[in-house]
Structure 1
Amino acid sequence: MKTLTLLRHAKSGWDDPVARDFDRPLNPKGRRAAAAMGKHLRELGLTFDRVIASPAVRVRETLDDVATGFGPLSPEWDKRLYLASAASLLDVVRETPAEAASLLLVGHNPGLEDLVLMLVPDERGGLRDTVEEKYPTATLAEMTFAVDDWADVAAGGATLTRFVRPRDVDATLGPDEG
């Protein structure tokens, strides 16, 4: 059994004048959401044998803030995760050594959402429908696979066991009123 957890970076600051998208930092709400999600991950008792993350500034800051509630994560920074497609993310998953039972990928949309939709069978009325509606910033998706080796992870082979949005943890972190 393998457990794959995906965490989308927290809300970034579009008002910040940065030259490159890669350098865009989190905004204050994003920092609060990441910290709240970190605390929630700890409360759930989650552990990760391996953490692989995009090196983008907003992902680095997300992990720093998650660590305030969860504890240190010691990620491996992989440039392939920056704005990666679902297919590229799946390649990273399949390269994970078999001895790792749990893997956390931290990155960006639409790749993370597309990966969940690729891996989880389309059965109406479940958590997958919620993912399909929207995969908000700082949201976590957890999937399990009945395989012994990450190389055997395949489309339609996952069970989506959790989909936790920041607003599920703290109502003040819900969508801004527009």
Structure 2
Amino acid sequence: MTTALISLDQPWQDARSLTLPAELAPWILEPASLTARLKRHCRHFRLQLLNERQSALPPFLQPLLPGTANAQLREVMLWCDDKPCVYAQSWLPQQTINRLQPLADMGERPLGDYIFQQPGLSRGTIEATELQLHGVLTRGTEAGHCFARRSVFQLHGLPLLVAEVFLPAIRRLEPVTA
């Protein structure tokens, strides 16, 4: 069993059925690329690769990616103007990586920059939850409750799961004007 930096073993609900904080709702409900939205809200965007490795799919994720025993776990931090705004965790089943080779080694390239350019992309329901942040990712952020969202995407009929945790700094982002 692998351990991700943040456990997302939480109760999840359809995000549209939740009462979300007004300043976070547009972020959580964003149907397009979160990376593109972040880039519109800062002068300097950066992705930090925290972890990328093959792993057994945790039992709580197996219903979302049925038939998947092993997946590539990728954990990143998305920074806007030197503030950590989003922790993202993606689970890429082995069969997805085998057929879509560019996903195998994204490095410090945002996953969103790739998948949202693909014509065969569809997104499942955006689910959301609230979780308590603690541990390594709270350094440089205010600890406390954070909202997270997750979706299962189908890219050319192949599944991948993306979960994003909205860190406190995201609440202070404003669109950048030229």
TM-score normalized by the length of structure 2: 0.26
More strand by share: 2
Answer 1 or 2: which has greater helix percent.
1
Taking structure 1 as the reference length, the TM-score comes to 0.26
Q: Which has the higher contact order (CA 8 A, sep 6+)?
A: 1
